Chains A and B, each alone.
Chain A
Amino acid sequence: QKEVEQDPGPLSVPEGAIVSLNCTYSNSAFQYFMWYRQYSRKGPELLMYTYSSGNKEDGRFTAQVDKSSKYISLFIRDSQPSDSATYLCAMSRNQAGTALIFGKGTTLSVSS
């Protein structure tokens, strides 16, 4: 079993839809959870960063972490064509500058 599993999609939605992106993981030692957005041929950019369990909201984006189920989610409300990108989940065991473990990414397309 891979440490981090993420459905690659592609996921296609109409503008204005609510999007749900998910990752599951197997290592209970993970404590830091991130979502990155990557446009084609660009470097990933950090969207959301969460420590341990709970929810975090930033504008149209909400990140959820359920450590008991080893499951994290990213919700995008009122999706826009500019949200069309690949979304990568990532996680790490501790804060001391260790490397991140990434999912394979989900490709999202929002049509106008």
Chain B
Amino acid sequence: DGGITQSPKYLFRKEGQNVTLSCEQNLNHDAMYWYRQDPGQGLRLIYYSQIVNDFQKGDIAEGYSVSREKKESFPLTVTSAQKNPTAFYLCASTTRGPDTQYFGPGTRLTVL
């Protein structure tokens, strides 16, 4: 089945630790995205990548880093510089044509 997978589903981190969230897609989509969702908020864009080995900052990139070494994978690292990392993180992908974004199931990160 084609789709987007995110792992883990739940993640707990101690303050001061970096943590990496996984996002994999087998849809052959060129573009991939990371969003953050907080209660009562919409989705806010962290980073996006339109092709391999290239990515751009979104609206709230501070404290996050990404890589895009393979078309299928777009991992997100939440660094200790992110002051309020507890949130629901969503990965999405799309083709570059007249299509729209399809989302993974999300990772809920809690900083203890």
Task: Determine if A95 and B97 form an interchain contact, defined as CB atoms under 8 angstroms apart.
Answer: yes
CB contact under 8 A between A96 and B96, given known A8-B40, A104-B40: yes
Given A43-B105, A43-B106, A49-B100, verify A97-B95 contact (CB < 8 Å): yes
Q: Among the listed A8, A36, A97, A105, which residue makes an inter-chain contact with B94, where contact means beta carbons less than 8 Å apart?
A: A97
CB distance from B88 to the nearest CB of A (A): 8
A41 interface hit (Cβ, 8 Å):
yes
Task: Mark out the residues of chain B between 90 and 104 whose CB falls within 8 Å of any chain A CB in the assembled complex.
Answer: 90, 94-104
Number of A-B residue pairs with CB-CB distance less than 8 Å in the complex they form: 60
**B1-39 toward A: CB 8 Å interface, digit per residue (1/0)?**
000101000000000000000000000001101000000
Report the contact-size class of chain B (Cβ under 8 Å from the partner): 20 to 34
Q: How far is the CB of B47 from chain A (nearest CB, A)?
A: 10
The answer to whether B100 touches A43 (Cβ under 8 A) is no
- The proximity string for A residues 35-72 relative to B, scoring 1 for CB distances below 8 Å and 0 otherwise, is 01000011111100101000000000000000000000
A32-B100, A97-B30, A97-B50 are known contacts. Are A42 and B105 too (CB-CB below 8 A)?
yes
Cβ contact within 8 Å between B42 and A105: yes
Say whether B102 contacts A46, CB under 8 Å: yes
Nearest to A36 among chain B residues (CB) is B103
User: Residue of A at shortest CB range from B50?
Assistant: A97
User: Which residues on B sit within 8 Å (CB–CB) of A6?
Assistant: 42
Q: Which residues of A, 10-56, contact B by the 8 Å Cβ criterion?
A: 32, 34, 36, 41-46, 49, 51
Contacting residues, chain B, for A42 (C-beta < 8 A): 105-106
Q: List 10 contacting pairs A-B, 8 Å CB cutoff, sorted by A.
A: A41-B108, A42-B105, A43-B103, A43-B104, A44-B90, A45-B103, A46-B100, A97-B30, A97-B95, A105-B42
Rank and list the top 4 A-B pairs by shortest CB-CB distance, nearest first. A97-B31, A43-B103, A102-B42, A104-B42
